[in-house]
Amino acid sequence: MSRAPAERFTGFPVEGLDFYDDLEADNTKTFWTAHRQVYLDAVRAPMTALLAQLEPEFGPGKVFRPYRDLRYSKDPTPYKAHQGGFVARSQSSGWYVELNAAGLRVSAGFYDASGSTLARYRQAVDEARTGTELQRLVGELATAGFVIGGDRLKTRPRGYDAGHPRLDLLRHRSLFASRDYYDSPGWLHRPQAAERVRDEWRRLRGLVEWIGTHVVASAAT
């Protein structure tokens, strides 16, 4: 059965940001139940429409569930204070967009690496050709205003010299570049928001492709 087409993306309504502003103050099932339709109309529906509009260029996207996983968390709040959307380029890597009370976050990279995946990443960073390529990509993104983040070791990984030229990258167990558009810029509430996300994801393509080539398996495998 074919999937029903998403509604046309017209921007994120102010009500969506207000919803998360209120949720941060009252993260309870009572609040959620009373405002669930606001979430569906002003958050989830436009995020779904945005990903559908970007799908021809980047591939199908996923809208994350709004519920927090409380099994291993000391934080008892049941709902996420943001709505994420993700397009996978490969396992645990790809493009990300997030709506929250402050505005919009655009990001890309790999968000989880362990075992053999982490070993492949470090091997690629250690190797002069591929490691230098990643160093260049990350440097260009930082110069363009992206924040380079991810989970990192406080010390160097075992087996690598303290003077390694790419030691900072070797410390990463996840690696992504992001840019925040907070204070609710006017374009966020208009169709132009899709073009802004598209432009940023295009700038992040080199990082995503490097990860897909050297670190993680294709999402299709």
Q: What is the chain's pLDDT, residue by residue, as a tens digit (221 residues)?
A: 344 445 899 999 999 999 999 999 999 999 999 999 999 999 999 999 999 999 999 999 999 999 998 887 788 899 999 999 999 988 789 999 999 999 999 999 998 877 888 999 999 999 999 999 999 999 999 999 999 999 999 999 999 999 999 999 999 999 999 999 998 899 999 999 999 999 999 999 999 999 999 987 644 44
DSSP helix/strand/coil, 66 = coil
DSSP helix/strand/coil, 146 = coil
- 141-160 pLDDT, tens digit per residue, is 999 999 999 999 999 999 99
Domains of the chain: 14-214 (3.30.930.20)
For residue 156, give Cα distances in angstroms to 159, 166, 168.
Answer: 8, 11, 8
First to last CA, the chain: 23
Alpha helices in 70-204, H assignment, sequence order: 116-126, 128-143, 167-170, 192-203
pTM for the whole structure:
0.91
Average pLDDT, the chain: 92
Residue 210 near residue 134, CB atoms below 8 Å: yes
The amino acid occupying position 12 is: F
